[in-house]
Amino acid sequence: MRRALAIVAAAAGLISAACGGTEGAETTTAEQPAVAAVPTFVGADGVESRIEDTSRIVTLSGDLTEAVFELGLGASVVATDVTTIYPPEATQLPIVGVGRFLTAEGVLRESPTLVLGDTQTSPPEAIAQIRSAGVPVVIFDVPTGFDALYAKARAIGEVLGVPDEGERLAQRLEDAISGAVAEAPALNPAPSVAFIYSRGPDVMLLFGEGMTTQPVIEAAGGKDAGVAAGVTGTVNVTPEALVAAAPDVIVTTSEGLDALGGVGGMLAIPGFAETPAGRSGRILAYPEGDFLTFGPRIADSLGAFIADLRNAMDQ
């Protein structure tokens, strides 16, 4: 066991961590943050979990993996889901499958002491099965705005017993995002930006209200074309709807664009070439794990997008 939480009764009522060596001895290093025991935590699904051991963590989304590593507990992560692409050492860990199509067997095979998921983790039956095996599963909200992202960083810190580290992560995120936004040009009028998720011509989705792409587009000085078209969540792209949305810029994933055969392949799909973005060639593509993983690296993605959007509109 790399690490276990222990509540040590003392006259002053202090909580200390048992980390490897003599029980009750507190160790504080850059790699091993001081741990405060968290008896219970109520997740976004309303379930209260008792968290006593963070020595073997399974993360079920890429942003959760990145947050755990940022908080200094990366050595305790024993498995992830397929959406984890960062940090590099996390990509070498066993993969338990896809968090949105979870199997309890795949998770339990890694003997976890704690499982971290979000409101997109499913099915509920798999989560219940893991819990019935005595393993706490903590479910977090999927943030759709920057304030919710900061709150999530703090919540993960609480769950892992490192609330001070969680607070510091939230502040780092806020400072980095504020710095990136300060570099955003005042685009007038604000360009209409459509985020299209694709895995090939058979999977084409327009993102809208409530998706993590919305705050990124708006922070960069753009107007979310999906939101303006009244889309909540995602809808299938149709030529008529795309032409009606009339985006000035189309953003997609580099994986999706590759699956379409590049920009030429995308513009060959009915509707795309008829948009202002298609006519001007304003197609921006980013790795899915960067633009869609709303986590510790989002400020870097936002900064890159701000620069690219400025350059695209200058063409």
pLDDT, residue 35, reads: 52
Confidence at 26, pLDDT banded by 50, 70, 90:
very low
Confidence at 164, pLDDT banded by 50, 70, 90:
very high
pLDDT, residue 124, reads: 96
pLDDT 10s digits, 91-102: 999 999 999 999
pLDDT, residue 89, reads: 97
CA 248, CA 246: separation in Å to the nearest integer? 7
Segment 174-183 mean pLDDT: 94
- Cα 169 to the chain's mean position, in Å? 14
pLDDT 10s digits, 40-66: 899 999 999 999 999 999 999 999 999
pLDDT, residue 183, reads: 85
Instruction: Using alpha carbons, list the distances in angstroms from residue 196 to 204, 217, 237, 274.
Output: 7, 12, 8, 15
pLDDT 10s digits, 142-156: 999 999 999 999 999
Average pLDDT over the chain reads 88
pLDDT, residue 199, reads: 84
- For residue 261, the tally of other CB atoms under 10 A from its CB is 12
Q: Given the DSSP bridges, would you call strands 203-207 and 234-236 parallel, antiparallel or unpaired?
A: antiparallel
